[in-house]
Structure 1
């Protein structure tokens, strides 16, 4: 456990940490606000586990108070290219909600985060959802977060007793370029993050999936070198 995480009197917060650039930036933001960050990641049957290795490293290097990985196998249901190997990850942009959407994923993740927050006595739950440069997932929108927070006020002891949880979404209105700038300013090393939907066992990105394209465009927009490790060539950004 990093020594700097042990700040006397620091308020606890739960931070959802996937191992990607957005959640790494959110962790750095929460830490900069003075929270004792209890990071939560999920082994949910996704295509690769290298993002969890990245999450562990980020939690340690960014001074998290604690990091837990919850096993939750959504591949039992499938229905997404991220949890069903028979569904290919798209390599060209499409229309509508893409097949990489995992049904109800953020609803499930936030419910578990809510349970842990109650045990910790934490009111603040951080999640790196984004509604600007994203893939069109319905559970990344502000209206979803507001609705979930309203539900949480009714579903928890904290809420009933008047000290309900607050879901913090500091990136929700930012472009990927703005997220990169903020992360760099907070000392996030994005080379240690994994965003690719189909990264290999070494953590190298495919360069063709939607996550890779959004990430590469963000670096291009800030005119910053993309230090992502790719299996071949980085994606086109024009």
Structure 2
């Protein structure tokens, strides 16, 4: 366990709004930041560069790890990893879905992210792993629910040396019960660099403005009374 003066946190950093807000919150709480980003063959691969820019903004580019999980693209099964599955345009009428879980759900993604972030945390002596999951605006993803986080926390306590020694890692989900507007208000208070982030699932130079993630982001900025600093093709 690190001392209070040198406490450390691993941040799962996608380059998006939520994970970047986690960076700002962890910094405010006095943590040394150790960001980790995953390249899983996502359609919106542009976010990897956003994550690098965010890490540089916070002065921790030398600690930023980018981990390849290309097999998730090989598996497919998601609109984010399979180009033959369209990202839904939320401005158009949607057909009746067979499941409440959207096609942008990536099977096993957060389970893998947390497992690997746990390894990085043990090696660096971190005491917390921050992840920007949200139980309100979570788009129906099963691996963003509090129940999921609780079970992974239990596994981390059993499967790690620090857990066995009675100093378990903590999964921090500071955005868990906040609306997107509340997240943005906190981020603005902390001068989080939203101009360096992207949330778009389509992954082009300008955000599409019509995918689920873009719509949630735009709605959040509007409700927070703030202007989104990134460019959109359609608003």
TM-score by length of 1: 0.91
In the aligned structure 1, how far is the partner of 2:120 from the partner of 2:25? 20
In the alignment, what sits opposite 1:3? Answer: none
Which among 150, 155, 161 is matched to residue 165 of structure 2? Answer: 161
Following superposition, the deviation at residue 61 of structure 1 comes to 0.7
3-state SS of paired residue (1:13): strand
Structure 2 unaligned segments of length 5 or more: list them.
none
The CA RMSD over aligned residues, in Å, is: 1.4
Structure 1 unaligned segments of length 5 or more: list them.
1-7
Contact 1:81 1:99 in 2 (8 A): yes
In the alignment, what sits opposite 1:121? Answer: 125
Within 5 A, what are the aligned runs for 1:226-237?
A: 226-231=228-233, 233-234=234-235
3-state SS of paired residue (2:6): coil
3-state SS of paired residue (1:117): helix
Contact 1:134 1:214 in 2 (8 A): no
Following superposition, the deviation at residue 9 of structure 1 comes to 3.7
3-state SS of paired residue (2:78): coil
> How many residues were matched structurally?
224
Which among 172, 180, 185 is matched to residue 184 of structure 2? Answer: 180
Contact 1:196 1:212 in 2 (8 A): yes
Within 5 A, what are the aligned runs for 1:130-141?
A: 130-141=134-145
In the alignment, what sits opposite 1:105? Answer: 109
Q: Could you say which structure has the greater relative contact order, defined with CA pairs below 8 angstroms and 6 or more residues apart?
A: 2
Q: Which 4+ runs in 1 deviate beyond 4 A?
A: none
Contact 2:45 2:203 in 1 (8 A): no
TM-score by length of 2: 0.92
In the alignment, what sits opposite 1:5? Answer: none
Which among 66, 71, 90 is matched to residue 69 of structure 1? Answer: 66
Within 5 A, what are the aligned runs for 1:1-238?
A: 9-64=5-60, 66-73=63-70, 74-92=72-90, 96-200=100-204, 202=205, 204-231=206-233, 233-234=234-235
- More displaced stretch, 84-93 vs 139-148: 84-93
